[in-house]
Structure 1
Amino acid sequence: MTAAAAAPAVPAPVLSLRFPLTPRRAEVARALLAYVAGLPLRSVDAQLLALLVAVRSAVTGTGHVTRAGLRSLQLGDRAAAVAALRGLGWEVPDALLGDDLEVPAAVTVSDWAQADGRPVDCSKTARAGVSSWMGGVLNTSPVAALAPPARLTALFLAAHASAEPESPDPLPDLLPGSCRSAVPDLLDSGFLADAAGGTYLLAPAVRHLAVALPRPRTPAWTPPAMDANDWRYWKDQRSPALRSHVDAVQHCALCAMPWEQVASAFTEAVQDPCRPSDNLRTAYGIWKRAHPDRGPQAAAFTVAFRAQHGHGPSIRQLCTGLGWEMWPPLRLLVVRRLLADGWLADTAPVPWTLRPGPAANAHGIALPRQRVPPTTRPTEERPLPR
């Protein structure tokens, strides 16, 4: 993996990096494979080239084929494959026949001049994801040295496999005959862990090329198992200072949260945060460079927020108020670093207690001190004379 691939410019969920073929992209890949399997093409070389063009042309009907894309196909007879596509009426330039493909060659699928003529409706993002997945399958070590029939077979099997580690999948019905005879080659190369009785199982080393399982949804917030009397009893058992803070949050007219949500935040146990992943640390580094004044901004925001609300902001309120739109794990890591650097302080695990920390105080960002009015200020006691 190159350095550019290891450090994506935009933070992305781990699942989409680990499994490039998301469920939506799998739909696109399978539709394009089915389309190519139905074309009147006899040679596997022509089918592979048609699939590459179909993937690149899925959005507009015209795709650009590069030298790297052609090299990944490892066609045995490129001229015959080009002639076969031209026989379908596709507009294939002569540049695809030479080895000097300095500029990507534009290939147009004539049947796709109108959007409703394409086998699938997909976005540019989905098309790019399928193209990347296709290159990943063809360039993976168990496939890279195989003949075209086995390479096309690997694409069909990866697109129709699930990520379940111990769940064999049936061979696709639309798998070309020339591909069925190449299944043993994929078993011998290590691409497949098993292939028998019309089923197959991807090897663990290439299982990430299968369609990703849908990410489980985060369950919606549910009220705590307590009623209003329980909540009042819980508050009565707390210290006066904590009780005052709870009431400030619960009765804040600006936040306007239901008491059940406030009760849940104060009574549920807070889990220790997990160690950030490499992807999360990379995303934080990118965000950090784009926000050099994050510390003073966060500290100043807590001062202004407390002046309006009478309590500190939550992590989400802090980031939203500052316009720091980000996914929740990154949001949590940002605040953790601000706390560690002293720009913020809190009274963990009590929620809504963010305030300026020691580093902010040193820069003059602090909560206003409670001053006693001069008329009620107690007189200073003087020591009795000896």
Structure 2
Amino acid sequence: MTQHSVADDVTAPRSSSLPPLQFHKPGEDLAAAMACTRCKEQGISIPPGWGQKKADRATREEADQDDAPKKRRTPPFTFLQWQLLHRIWDKVTADGAGDEPDSRLLALTCALRGAIRGYANLTAQDFRILRLEDPHDSVRRLVEPGWLRTTPEEAVEAQAMAPAQCGLPTIQGNPWGVGQGIRSGASGWVSRTLSHKKMRKKPNGMRMTAVYVAAHATPEGDISVPAEKVVSAVRISGTDELTSLLVRWEELGWIEDFRMTDGNVVARLTELTRPLAHVPVPPPTPPMTAPATTPQDVPVLERARALVEGREAKIADWVGAFRDEHGHGPSWGMVSEHFGWPPRAAPDHEVTQEALRMLEEGGWLTGFGVPFGLRRGSAQA
């Protein structure tokens, strides 16, 4: 646990006779605290939150010992991954990359892979996975207008040990400002969705339509997206083809309750495909706060003095007894909790810091700056 020194603007200056507070690496006291059986018996978590982490780990280990077959865990489609996929797909659409479903799928794949570095690595295996009817033609449709920098032969014939590095002139300098985890998550979601068992032996126009509507579902699985936007993004012929494709997907159980309403595709993901929807943004963690327990209109020094004066020996004795029992000193939080001083989460926590400074300056306590290093000072000798 990191101990903090007193802020200069709210406390008296530190005496020049005292050595400066130092922050040390974990030592014997912290090791003793983490292995302390008395703390465990008393429900004291060292470091704070460590007890819950150990409980969670024990639960996972217990589950791992279960001999029952386990389903393969699918990574969640997070909001940031969902947001990046939308932006990249919109960028590919705006660039006009690919004039039919196969080349549009290849363009989307390249953009997802090159969103950070500005180039995409391709191999012959990638083209087999994408199931393009004519890989050379699909690459040519992206190379001729200058959207992709490579050659059809180089890209289609590249092997895993020497992939073709295909430049993306319109995607340079990490335009979306994302990290590798978000980028790979968005790319992975598209790959998993394209390889869904419902996608087997389907043409890419049909597959891309299913991926696009799934990518525009709410966390609850509801879909509402302009039909023209789907047509433009997938590069199919028009709304008539879109309607026939979505009717077919409804028959196959990809979506349900499909209808066209005011030019919008309205539907829902089915129970089978609802796990493809992105997860909602978790609510923000509320800040840890505590009410003030000392009068705010009284100077910090006076409030701290009222907590300490006449009780120095009692406080030092308690710290010493704690160390004798546990084999390590208490944390600042333990001291403040035992004596009813303002906790760190309280707006008047500087009063506790000043009280501890007084105890150190008076020689009642020492060991500051070392995790769980508090002990009796020279005044108790």
User: TM-score when scaled to structure 1?
Assistant: 0.52
C-alpha distance in 1, partners of 2:290/2:75?
35
C-alpha distance in 2, partners of 1:65/1:217?
40
**1:254 equivalent in structure 2:** 332
Give 1:309 shift: 6.4
Secondary structure of 2:120's aligned partner: strand
Gaps of 5+ in 2: 1-59, 61-72, 295-317, 324-329, 346-369, 377-381
**1:128 equivalent in structure 2:** 184
Contact 1:143–1:186 at 8 Å: present in 2 too? Answer: no
C-alpha distance in 2, partners of 1:75/1:201?
29
Give 1:207 shift: 2.1
Give 1:55 shift: 0.8
Report the AA paired with residue 115 of structure 1.
G
**1:180 equivalent in structure 2:** 242
- Verify: 1:59 aligned to 2:109, yes or no: no
Contact 1:190–1:203 at 8 Å: present in 2 too? Answer: yes
Classify 1:222/1:25 alpha carbon distance in 2 versus 1 (closer, same or farther; 3 Å).
same
Report the AA paired with residue 195 of structure 1.
F
**1:106 equivalent in structure 2:** 165
C-alpha distance in 1, partners of 2:341/2:247?
60
Give 1:133 shift: 1.1
Contact 1:95–1:101 at 8 Å: present in 2 too? Answer: no
Classify 1:180/1:254 alpha carbon distance in 2 versus 1 (closer, same or farther; 3 Å).
same
**1:169 equivalent in structure 2:** 224
Contact 2:77–2:276 at 8 Å: present in 1 too? Answer: yes
Alignment of 1:145-224 (within 5 A): 145-165=201-221, 167-171=222-226, 174-176=229-231, 178=236, 180-181=242-243, 182-197=245-260, 198-223=265-290
**1:331 equivalent in structure 2:** none
Secondary structure of 1:27's aligned partner: helix
Classify 1:28/1:217 alpha carbon distance in 2 versus 1 (closer, same or farther; 3 Å).
same
Classify 1:221/1:48 alpha carbon distance in 2 versus 1 (closer, same or farther; 3 Å).
same
Give 1:78 shift: 1.4
C-alpha distance in 2, partners of 1:19/1:260?
45
Greater relative contact order (Cα 8 A, min sep 6): structure 1 or 2? 2
Gaps of 5+ in 1: 1-6, 8-16, 229-243, 265-303, 311-386
Contact 1:193–1:201 at 8 Å: present in 2 too? Answer: yes
Once the two structures are superposed, what CA deviation does each residue of 1:318-342 show, in whole Å capped at 9, x if it has no partner? xxxxxxxxxxxxxxxxxxxxxxxxx
Once the two structures are superposed, what CA deviation does each residue of 1:323-366 show, in whole Å capped at 9, x if it has no partner? xxxxxxxxxxxxxxxxxxxxxxxxxxxxxxxxxxxxxxxxxxxx
Give 1:25 shift: 1.4
**1:34 equivalent in structure 2:** 90
Q: How many residues align?
A: 239
Give 1:261 shift: 7.5
Secondary structure of 2:89's aligned partner: helix
Q: Normalized per residue, which structure has more helix?
A: 1
Q: CA RMSD of the aligned region, Å?
A: 4.1
Give 1:68 shift: 4.2
Classify 1:78/1:37 alpha carbon distance in 2 versus 1 (closer, same or farther; 3 Å).
same
Secondary structure of 1:50's aligned partner: helix
Give 1:203 shift: 1.9
User: TM-score when scaled to structure 2?
Assistant: 0.52
Report the AA paired with residue 162 of structure 2.
V
C-alpha distance in 1, partners of 2:158/2:257?
38
Alignment of 1:323-338 (within 5 A): none
